[in-house]
Amino acid sequence: MIIIDLLENSLFAGIAAIGFGSISNIPLKSFPGCALLAAIAHTSRLVLMQLCAWNIIMASFVAAISIGLLSIPLAKFWRCPAEALSFPALLPMIPGMYAYRAVQSLLICLQNKEEISFEHYFNLFNYNCMICFLTMLMMAVGVLLPIFIFRSSSFSVTR
Residue-level pLDDT at 129 = 97
Asked whether residue 148 is assigned to any structural domain, the reply reads: yes
Residue-level pLDDT at 82 = 87
Asked whether residue 40 is assigned to any structural domain, the reply reads: yes
Number of domains present in the structure of the chain: 1
Asked whether residue 129 is assigned to any structural domain, the reply reads: no
Asked whether residue 110 is assigned to any structural domain, the reply reads: no
8 Å CB contact between 2 and 53: no
State which residues of the chain have pLDDT below 50: none
Residue-level pLDDT at 1 = 76
Residue-level pLDDT at 159 = 53
Asked whether residue 42 is assigned to any structural domain, the reply reads: yes
Asked whether residue 125 is assigned to any structural domain, the reply reads: no
Task: Report d(CA 148, CA 75) in Å as an integer.
Answer: 14
